[in-house]
Amino acid sequence: MKISVFGFLTLAFLLCVSIPSATSDLASINFLKCFQSKTNLSVSNSSSNVIFTATTSSYTSILQSSAQNLRFVTKSTPKPQLIIRPLGKSHIQAAVTCSKENNINIRIRSGGHDYEGLSYVSHIPFIIVDLSNLRSIKIDIENQIAWVDSGATLGELYHAIAEKSKIYGFPAGTCPTVGVGGHLSGGGMGTMCRKYGLAADNVIDARIVDANGRVLNRKSMGEDPFWAIRGGGGASFGIIFSWKIKLVPVPSTVTMFLIQKSLEQGATKFVQKWQLVANKLSKDLFIRVIIGVADSASGNSNKTIVVTFAAVFLGRREQLLTMMENSFHELGVEQKDCIEMSWIQSVLYVAGFSTEGSYNVLLNRTNTNKSYFKAKSDYVKEPISEKGLEGLWKILIEEESGYMIWTPYGGRMGEISEFQIPFPHRSGNLYEIQYIVTWEAKKETEEHLNWIRRLYGYMTPFVSKNPRSAYLNYRDLDLGINRNENESYGQASVWGLKYFNSNFKRLAQVKTQVDPSNFFCHMSKLTIQMGTEVVHLHTEQKEGKMCMRKLGFVTGNPKFYKSLSGLAICHLQENKAAEVTQPTIKATHIAIEGWISYRRMLEDCSNLEAVLWGLLWGFEMIKDQEMPVVQIINDGTSPLVLRVRFGF
């Protein structure tokens, strides 16, 4: 018998997808009443700058202010019933509490750069909690730390650091209008990742409003949730409104170069060599490859592939030249190619700004280069052959607005454990690929989507396998979404494993612990899929009972959770992690008999094997029932696991 996928999250899912229009209108009215009563704010009070309804004059401009992908800024795109722009944590708490009371879905937006628009689009009635008013940044140079609010942009963070110091920075992304909240919660990859790892690797505390409206920090939320929000997609677990980060030393002088090579200039050979050396270079040297299409130098109408080698070196020109001569002399980097500057100037340079002017340009939160676009990602573990590259060029050259960015790994990225945070793409990865295509008109969408999917398909033999990995911050719904409540955990894992590899299972467990009602649900693969058909029984009696009550609620059998609560207590007296695949109601009675039998056999609950035999005895007492399949698993790296799969 096939068991429903999401177990106790099934009801929450159904609520997310089946709210009638009239009900949602009433819910939004009740939400407003609730929110106003808790905050003393009014929609009519425009000075509050917090609540915006569809009839508010600034509603549309605020909705579109940080929406970066024009695919999701159309007349047909679902719009939020309300936009809440909190001025403090109490407003976030009120938004969560009132949304939960009225069954309204929440989208959380910091910078609006989500590639699939999931921070501001939903196909069920929803509100947006827009964190753009929360952008306080407090720099503590003496202790080499900073507190930064989720609504701040990377540009504002870099600016604030530069105002305090010329010898400290932060290893995050290159686009200054990206919001801190989404960037850190998805990993955060930048030009210093080979030296210091991801942005999320340098988070040391956070403040979050959970599904119960509580404000928690690292200590009060616990290490498992703190692990999950650093690279596991924070919006699945709560509203993170502030982050404590570790600043990193940067030299007074940083050196840059940009070298371009076309096919006619031997670009293929240079790319082949780059694949061999880029991940082995000094941690101080980061050479990213950008591959695109340009007019041929021959002057005719032909197109060619142009490869740009873009370097950021944490040191002086002379050191860089020596390093390149020793490791990648084929590229022919000369002194005239190298430009020395400060670290903050390098931030401007990489972002496409002049290094001669003020870095106040980083305070501009508006991205003026919005377009329709689609992106995908991959990881490469073995160099792509010359033949493979030549086939790639043939597809790329078909699309003038398509390009690829190859980001080298190695260095610190290869030293950090794949289990340190949910982001698992560490040792063994040569580089990460980002595929991007942009276009100008909605009518061109299908054509360009087909092209990038064909490009992605071509790359299949050359990239990671089992799973074919992807980077969460380059979110790609082509990898899968949850379409209905009958999908299994195994089906969800097909795309969950791509982002998180084996960390996906732990994320599912944390989601179950911190948000058992699935309040922070998305119609995407990264939130609802956190619901799992496997129920994790925790090490404390109270937690075990809580998990079992969820199952009892779904089955409607009160004896069910009482009996399995007892099993949870006994299984975990010695901190053993037990997992029981969700049984049917019929199997529930067998579990009850197994529990009773076990208690008769052995009063000392510390013996996991005795629990197993108790279950088997219980099955034997039911004459018309098949025996279960029972496994005890101990791979030496995880706690002992008991799996009981009921055999019918």
Give which of 341, 329, 469, 466 is closest to 409, Cα–Cα: 469
Give Dmax over CA atoms of the chain in angstroms: 89
Domain 134-252+342-366 falls under CATH 3.30.465.10: yes
| Residue 598 a catalytic site member | no
* Mean pLDDT value across residues 600-615: 41
Q: What percent of the chain has pLDDT over 70?
A: 74
Residue from 158, 196, 435, 474 carrying the catalytic annotation? 474
pLDDT digits (tens, 9 = 90+) for 2-58: 222 222 222 222 223 333 345 567 888 999 999 999 998 876 654 468 999 998 989
Please state, rounded to an integer, the average pLDDT across all residues of the chain: 80
Q: By mean pLDDT, which of 120-134, 162-176, 517-531 is the weakest?
A: 517-531
231 sits in which H/E element:
none
Per-residue model confidence (pLDDT) at position 43: 67
Cα–Cα distance, 466 to 477 (Å, whole number)? 19
pLDDT digits (tens, 9 = 90+) for 334-369: 999 999 999 999 999 999 999 998 999 999 998 878
Q: Which residue has the tokens 């009801």?
A: 11
Dihedrals phi, psi of 299, to nearest 5 degrees: 90, -10
Q: Mean pLDDT lowest for which of 6-10, 311-315, 542-546, 553-557?
A: 6-10
pLDDT tens digits, one per residue of 191-226: 999 999 999 999 999 999 999 999 999 999 999 999
Separation CA 41–CA 50 (nearest Å)? 8
CATH 3.40.462.20 residue ranges in the chain?
254-338+371-459
Considering the four listed CATH numbers 3.40.462.20, 3.30.70.980, 3.40.50.10420, 2.40.110.10, the one that applies to the domain covering 254-338+371-459 is 3.40.462.20
Which residue ranges does the chain devote to CATH 3.30.465.10? 134-252+342-366
Q: Is the dihedral of CA 355, 360, 365, 366 positive or negative?
A: negative
Instruction: State which CATH number among 3.20.20.140, 3.30.43.10, 3.60.20.10, 3.40.50.300 fits the domain covering 25-130.
Output: 3.30.43.10
Angstrom distance (rounded) from CA 8 to CA 6: 6
Binning the chain into helix, strand and coil, the percentages to the nearest 5 are 40, 20, 40
Tokens linked to 156: 């504002």
pLDDT at 522: 60
User: Is 195 within 8 Å of 283 (Cβ atoms)?
Assistant: yes
pLDDT level of residue 175 (50, 70, 90 thresholds): very high
Give the model's confidence band at 645: pLDDT under 50 very low, under 70 low, under 90 confident, else very high: very low
